Structure 1
Amino acid sequence: MARSMMKDLTEGKPLKLVLSFAFPLLFGMLFQQFYSFVDTAIVGRYLGAEKLAAVGATGSVNFLVIGLCLGFCSGFAIPIAQAFGAKNEHEVRRSAWHAAVLCVVLSLVFGLAATLLCKPLLRLMNTPEEILDSSASYIRIIFAAIPCCVLYNMASGILRSLGDSRTPVVFLVLASLVNIALDLVLIIYCGMDVAGAAVATAISQLVSGLGCLIVIMRKFPILKLTKEDRRFSMKRARSMLGIGLPMGLQFSITAIGSVVVQWSVNGLGVNAVAAVSAAVKLSMFFACVFDALASTMATFAGQNTGARKLDRVRQGLRAASEVGIIYCVLALGVVLLFGDKMLGLFIDSGENAAVMELAFHYLKINASFYIPLLFVNIVRLCIQGMGYTRIAMFAGLSEMVARVAVALLVVPAAGFTGACFANPAAWVMADLFLFPCYFRLLKSLSGRMATGKEEWKESRTRIHRVA
């Protein structure tokens, strides 16, 4: 049964494989956004615009810390995908064991540090005083539950590396239903305010993580560890940290720019904060396709790089690009025609007409740049799947520079409209770095593979050390 749950992406038509692998991921992400919608709608409708702003004001600092954790989970999964593509089951198990140990240690360290520092971070971001306590109450619980978040993302990352994109979705859907139910109970009936939404999120993450872990232990004999597999190697741990931490830092570097933008938006008042919060929630729904294609490219590129089939890496990226561009055009049309009505899920247009107008303005500008966002996702994850996580990190640096420039130079002059262009500027800047980088790395890796298996491995090691 486990063998049928795994998928070898090194054989078959790339377009068909990309679509079949991405579709379950997309379904799970859409369902995740659905429960996020419900979460936001409950907060906005039952607790009011000020509480919605309080939760929204934590978005960037949340991304700063949680993004770091998600990044190292994604990075640790890359050696597993490459070993699976190379048909080396012993390396699959050893990489999975080291990933698990590192995740336990890092999640505890980051969870404790972030929980203690959450309120100073919110003050540093110029969070409005009237929502500061509520924001801190929400994000403190989210940070304390980082180990739950890491459990799901590492377990699901291992499953996807082996070609199973369906099992993580099953438990993500289950977690979403749990989250919705707990939101209703804790916020509406128990009166827990925004803390109820945070507790619901933490419990649902734990449920999904434990579910994936149980499947790994019961259904995947390839991951059944021997005494030799569990022998911990500091050399291997350092090697995996060299892949995982750059991916985490990439998320965090990108988030630093978002934090600065959030700081500038916070200075525009509660209405602006609430508008961006609602618009970002809806944008995340449309971005699910980009995330699904990106996760697909990470696994596709990882397996085919491990199998030394770089032509298939090119073909896979082309297939993802074609599907993504068609979607971008359709998504923009939907936003222009129905975006204001969709925002009504979070905002009462009668009582908060000013917030609605700002949110729709933000959404339209961002949707106009979905094609650059598509390429940021799929090209970067393709590069990371090939093993060049440190180089891809510089794309995050490009995004940070663009966002900081807009926040400090454009927002003071153009106000809210300036803030609307922070993300598009970041996406374009990252693409200007990623495309030349991708073609150069692909050419370089092709040349090294042609020199022979052992020489290629040594060359890649040198590249990672320098990158």
Structure 2
Amino acid sequence: MKKGLLVRLSSPMDLTQGTPWKKILRYALPIILSYLLQQIYVLTDAIICGQVLTSAQVAGVNDTFPLTFIFLQFAFGCTAGFSVVTGEAVGKGDAAGVRRSFASQFFLSFVLSVLLTAVSILLLPWLLGTMHLTPESGEVYRAAYDYCFVIFLGIFAQMGYNFVCGILRAYGDSVTPLFFLVFSTVLNVGLDLFFLSVLKMGPIGAAAATVIAQLISFIACTAYTFFKYPQLRLKMQDLKPHAAALWEHLRQGLPLGLQFSVLAIGIIVMQGAVVKFDLTESGAMVASTPAQNGYGAASKLFNFLMSVYNGLGSAILGYNAQNYGKSAYDRIRRGTVQTLGLMLAATVLCVGIGLLMTIGGAYQYIFMSADKISSETIRYGNIFLYMDFAFYPVLGFLIVVRSAVQGVFFPGYVLGAGVAELVARVVLCTWLPAWVNGAPVDCTASSAAFAAVCFGDPGAWICASVVLAIPLCKAILKERYKKAAL
């Protein structure tokens, strides 16, 4: 009976039939759980690192988020865009098209992972420098460099896993990736404890645990996919590049990947602005790094709660792709609107949980040991959370509509939204804090100046949402696709 239940749960789902919001919610729940587990990857590192590593090493690992984000999210964005092509073929009932899409993604994922690994490692010292982290920063720099280096070596594992999961989700199976991710998360926890607490490997151990867990999950998920879908088993002739198919995948994948990378560049600028609050007037780093640690812990809580939005976004992308392939434009409109309704309901829950966690800085005790927490780390962390939670529905709108637009083949608008987000975040984080502070920012700057840095997030969300509202209103809501296409 249990085996029968698992088979039913992991069976492909036809998203072109049934009540839209019910299908989307059922499809989204396993994806949301998957995103939560992916955040547990990050949280596990943060919790164990916060208890085992020094304050400087914790700050270094926290500072790596935007750097790893820029490359890993490019990989994720590309594979998510690739899956739109697969989903359209599934919606059409085009078995040959699905197989061709699988072969194209296999080839592109391999090539892109090699390029991303090479570029990320070569640019690592320079990228750290853009965040005011140099060898003179001492232990903070060494921790950030070591952690990023290992994560970048393992880009192929995450890209491979996301590629295979995208194929499964294009078929309507959002449960199978969750099963493998549960296994991988448990393995990651065990490896973290072993590498950090037993072998004392420091930041390198935390990164290695994540990469190894992702690699095993990728291998296991690939083996299962070939077993469950024998029509996808590739032969030598399938590996021959198909120019038209490769271009179609790149046309969908690259704009979304670039959009996420552009977003990451803005986050790097924001992280660099945060680092200034830990610098003295002479440029020396404050020993306890309260701004970086407080902001880092708050960001991890925020990203964890954002998993609900990300899950809804992935769900509407797959839903719209299948229905676009079937030309079910009315279902696309209703599904998008109803997903926005689900987003608003999720907002109430997530903001409520987040605000409760700010009381006494409770969330910081999850990510750091008590000796690293102070009134200053709580002050910085809570300012960030209060600012971002105030505009949380705007972020939800952005994530859902961006995915809805990508799912109906409007990649140009998605990239345009990313550019708008980058420009807004860079301008706000560069200019606004010093203007509010009335002087250059350093460790003596006011809370209002730090709030100005944090406003870089909502300001960027608003600008990107304005761009995405164009295809939402002109195409999805009016069911007009050819006239609105870029």
TM-score, normalised to structure 1, is: 0.92
Question: Which residue of the partner structure matches residue 344 of structure 1?
Answer: 365
Contact 1:2-1:220 at 8 Å conserved across structures: no
Which of 105, 108, 133 is residue 142 of structure 2 equivalent to?
133
* C-alpha displacement of 1:238: 2.0
Relative to structure 2, which stretch is displaced further, 116-125 or 281-290? 116-125
> Which of 148, 151, 169 in structure 1 is aligned with 2:157?
148
| Aligned positions of 1:51-70 closer than 5 A | 51-70=57-76
What residue is the counterpart of 1:20 in the other structure? Answer: 26
Partner of 1:124: 130
Partner of 1:332: 351
Quickly say closer, same or farther: Cα 1:396–1:447, change in 2 above 3 A. closer
Partner of 2:205: 196
Match of 2:98 in 1: 92
In structure 2, distance between residues paired with 1:27 and 1:69: 21
Provide the aligned length of Structure 1 versus Structure 2: 452
In 2, Cα distance between equivalents of 1:350 and 1:447: 57
- The answer for the alignment partner of 2:84 in structure 1 is 78
Would you say the 8 A contact 1:52–1:277 is kept in 2?
Answer: no
**Number of the residue aligned with 2:471:** 437
Q: Kindly indicate whether the alpha-carbon contact (under 8 Å) linking 1:347 and 1:356 is maintained by their aligned counterparts in 2.
A: no
1:228 CA drift (Å): 6.2
Report the alpha carbon displacement of residue 390 of structure 1 after superposing the two structures with TM: 2.2
Q: Is 1:278 aligned with 2:313?
A: no
1:146-185 superposed matches below 5 A:
146-185=155-194
Cα 1:10/1:205, change in 2 over 3 Å: same
User: Quick check: 1:416 aligned with 2:450?
Assistant: yes
Alpha-carbon displacement from aligned partner over 1:244-275 (angstroms, at most 9, x marks no partner): 11111111111111111111112221221111
Alpha-carbon separation, structure 2, partners of 1:186 and 1:308? 51
Kindly state the Cα deviation for residue 342 of structure 1 after the two structures are TM-superposed: 2.4
CA displacement at 1:333 relative to structure 2: 2.1
Partners of 2:234 and 2:65 in 1: CA distance: 39
Letter in 2 for 1:344: Y
Q: Which amino acid aligns with 1:403?
A: R
Q: In 2, Cα distance between the equivalents of 1:304 and 1:253?
A: 29
* Residue 313 (structure 1) aligned with residue 332 (structure 2): yes
Q: Give the corresponding residue for 1:366.
A: 388
1:58–1:3 CA distance, 2 compared to 1 (3 A) = closer
The 2-side partners of 1:107 and 1:445 are apart by 37
Counting aligned pairs with the same residue, the percent is: 31
1:209 to 218, 221, 225: 218
Moved more, 292-301 or 273-282: 273-282
1:266 aligns with 2:285: no
Q: 1:230 offset after TM fit, Å?
A: 4.2
The residue number in structure 2 matching 1:34 is 40
**Are residues 69 and 256 of structure 1, via their aligned partners in 2, closer, same or farther at CA, if it must alter by over 3 Å?**
same
Q: In structure 1, give the amino acid aligned to 2:302.
A: S
Cα distance in 1 for partners of 2:43, 2:76 equals 21
Equivalent-residue separation in structure 2 for 1:397 and 1:288 (angstroms)? 23
Contact 1:372 1:431 in 2 (8 A): yes
Question: Do residues 297 (structure 1) and 316 (structure 2) align?
Answer: yes
- Deviation track 1:28-60 (CA, whole Å, cap 9, x = no partner) reads 222232342222011112113322210111111
CA contact (8 A) 1:42 1:183 kept: yes
Pairwise CA distance, 1:350: 5.8
Offset at residue 148 of structure 1 (A): 0.7
Structure 2 counterparts to residues 436-455 of structure 1, below 5 A: 436-442=470-476, 446=480, 448=482
The letter for the 1-side match of 2:114 is L
Q: Distance in 1 between matches of 2:8 and 2:347?
A: 35
Counterpart for residue 455 of structure 1: none
1:379 matched to 2:388? The reply is no
| In structure 2, C-alpha distance between the alignment counterparts of 1:173 and 1:426, rounded to whole Å | 33
Which residue identity does 1:381 align to in structure 2? S
Alpha carbons of 1:3 and 1:29: their partners in 2 closer, same or farther (altered >3 Å)? closer
Q: Is the 8 A contact 1:107 1:146 kept in 2?
A: yes
1:390 to 407, 412, 422: 412
Cα 1:3–1:446, aligned 2, differ >3 Å: closer, same or farther? Answer: farther
Number of the residue aligned with 1:404:
426
Q: Distance in 2 between matches of 1:447 and 1:331?
A: 34
Question: Would the alpha carbon gap of residues 447 and 197 (structure 1) be closer, same or farther in structure 2, given more than 3 Å must change?
Answer: closer
Instruction: Decide whether aligned partners of structure 1 residues 3 and 45 sit closer, same or farther in structure 2, where only a CA change above 3 A counts.
Output: closer
Amino acid at match of 2:13: K
Q: Is the 8 A contact 1:74 1:157 kept in 2?
A: yes
Aligned CA distance change for structure 1 residues 446 and 437 (closer, same or farther; 3 Å): closer
Q: How far 1:4 moved relative to its partner?
A: 6.4
Task: Supply the distance in 2 between the matched residues of 1:323 and 1:2 (Cα, whole angstroms).
Answer: 25
The one-letter amino acid paired with 2:421 is E
Q: Secondary structure at the match of 1:268?
A: helix
2-structure distance, mates of 1:4, 1:151: 20
Alpha carbons 2:113, 2:156 under 8 Å: kept: yes
Between 1:1-10 and 1:135-144, the stretch displaced more is 1-10
What SS does the corresponding residue of 1:5 show, helix, strand or coil?
coil
2:286 is aligned to none
Q: Is the 8 A contact 1:68 1:252 kept in 2?
A: yes
Q: What is the match of residue 322 of structure 1?
A: 341
Q: CA deviation at 1:338?
A: 2.7
Residue range with higher mean Cα deviation, 324-333 or 140-149: 324-333
The change in CA–CA distance for 1:223 and 1:264 in structure 2 (over 3 A counts) is same
For residues 103-118 of structure 1, the aligned pairs below 5 Å read 103-118=109-124
Deviations 1:221-260 (A, max 9, x none): 3424467644421232122212111111111111111111
| AA at the equivalent of 1:391 | Y
After alignment, is 332-341 or 131-140 more displaced? 332-341
Q: Following TM superposition, by how much is the alpha carbon of 1:375 offset from its aligned partner in structure 2, in angstroms?
A: 0.9
Tell me the CA shift for residue 307 of structure 1.
Answer: 0.6
Q: Distance in 2 between matches of 1:63 and 1:321?
A: 26
